[in-house]
Amino acid sequence: MSVFDMAVLINALASFLFFAVVQFFSCRFVSSKEVLRWLMNLVILGLAVNIAGGIILFLKNPEVSAQMVFGAKGLCLILSAGVYLLVTFHYIVLVFGPYESSVRLRVLRELYKEFPRGMLPRELLSRYNARTVVDRRLDRLVSSGEIELKDGVYRVKNRKNYFTVSDIIVGKLRKIAEGK
Amino acid sequence: MFYVLATLSIFCIAVLMHILWCRVFPKNRLQIAPFAFFSLVGLLYYGALAHLFFYGSSADRAVNLWNLPLALSAAVVYILLIPIYLALYFNTRVESPTQKILRIIHEHDGIGYEELASCISDSEIIIPRIDDLLRCRYIQMKEGAYCLTARGIVVAKALNAYQVLTGREAGG
C-alpha cells in the first residue's frame, strides 16, 4: 500500500467514524419525522470533516505533502471524499435505512414481541398496516421538505430531491435493461 | 489518475455487460448473479492491469499525476460501487412505499390524505413482504398464525440490540 493510498483511506475511514459516532449518539434525540433532514446534515458535516482532514493530511503534513506532485493533492482530496460518501451511503442503505423504514424488519419485530405465541394475520395487520406505513412516510417527507401539505393537499415541493433523482435513474435503467 | 480511470471504466463495462445480458436473456426476476460474475471478472482484470502498469512504469520512477500510486483506493471505490448499482437495479423491479407515495402525489399533482391512503393497500405494501419473509424462511405459518423461525429470531434480536444502543423507536 502506497503512502497516498494510506492517506486517502485513513482520511475517508476517520471521517466515516466521525459520522458514525455522531450519528450513533445523536440519533436518539431525533424524531422519525426529522430523520431525513438530520441524516443529510450529518453526511454534509462528515464531508466537511473529510475535506478538513484531507487538507491537513495532504497539504500540511510534510511527509505526505513532500511527495505530492502537481494535481495529486486535488485527486487525493476528491478520492477520499468519494470513498467517504460511498461508505456512508452503504451504512445508510444497509444498516440505518432498513432499521428506520423496512416493512419486513418491522413485521419481524412485531412478531418477536409475541414470540413464541405468533400472530394471526388480522392481528398483525391491526398493529402494522398500510396506513401506518403511509402516515410515517408522509410525516417524514413533509418534515424533510420533499413534499408540502397545504389546505389538506399533499404536493411534491422539491422536484429535484434524492427520491426523484433516484427515480429518474432507476426509470432510465429499467428502460435500457428491459428495452421498455 | 490511471488507477481511478481504470476502475471507473471497468465498472462501466461491467454495468453495460449486465444491461446487455438482461436484454439478450430477459427474465421475469432479478438477475444479480450475472452482474456478480461480470464485476468479479472486472476486479480480477483490474488487478492484473494495475500489476502490469505498476511494474511497467517502475523503470521510470518519477511519480506524476497519471501514475500516482492509488491502486488500492481505486479498488475500494470499485468494490463500493457494486452494491450501489445493485440497489438501483433492485429498484427497477421493486418500488419502495416512499417512492410509490411520491409517484402518486406527483401523478395527481396534489392529493388529499384519504385519497392517497386509499391508493396504498395492505395487499400491495404489507402482504408481499410477509410472503417474502415466508419464502426466505424468516417466518413460518403455524396453525393459521405467523411465527418467527430461528433465522427470524436472530434478526429480531439484532434489531432489538440496535434499538437499545441507539435509543430509537421502532422503525417501519
Work out the average pLDDT over A162-168: 67
Least confident interval from A22-31, A117-126, B53-62: B53-62
B70 closest CB neighbour out of A4, A105, A109: A4
CA distance A59 to chain B (A): 16
| CA gap A55, A42 in Å, rounded | 20
In this predicted model, what pLDDT tens digit does every residue of A83-138 receive, in sequence order? 999 999 999 888 888 888 889 999 999 999 988 888 999 999 999 999 999 998 89
Going by C-beta distance under 8 Å and a sequence separation of 6 or more, which residues neighbour residue A131?
A: B117
CA distance B29 to chain A (A): 11
Return the residue matching grid coordinates 506532485: A69
| CA gap B16, B34 in Å, rounded | 12
Least confident interval from A65-69, A80-84, A135-139, B163-167: A65-69
Q: Find the helix or strand (DSSP H, E) in which A48 lies.
A: helix A35-54
Going by C-beta distance under 8 Å and a sequence separation of 6 or more, which residues neighbour residue A16?
A: A46, A84, A87, A88, A91
Per-domain boundaries in chain A: 3-100, 109-178
Q: Which three cell numbers stand for residue B72?
A: 488500492
B19 closest CB neighbour out of A140, A170, A177: A177
Mutate to test the interface with A, among B102, B139, B164 (most CBs of A within 10 A): B102
For B145, which DSSP code? Answer: E
User: Which ipTM score applies to this complex?
Assistant: 0.78
A137 closest CB neighbour out of B69, B97, B109: B97
User: B162 to chain A: nearest residue by CA?
Assistant: A99
Does B119 contact chain A (CB < 8 Å)? no
| CA gap A138, B149 in Å, rounded | 32
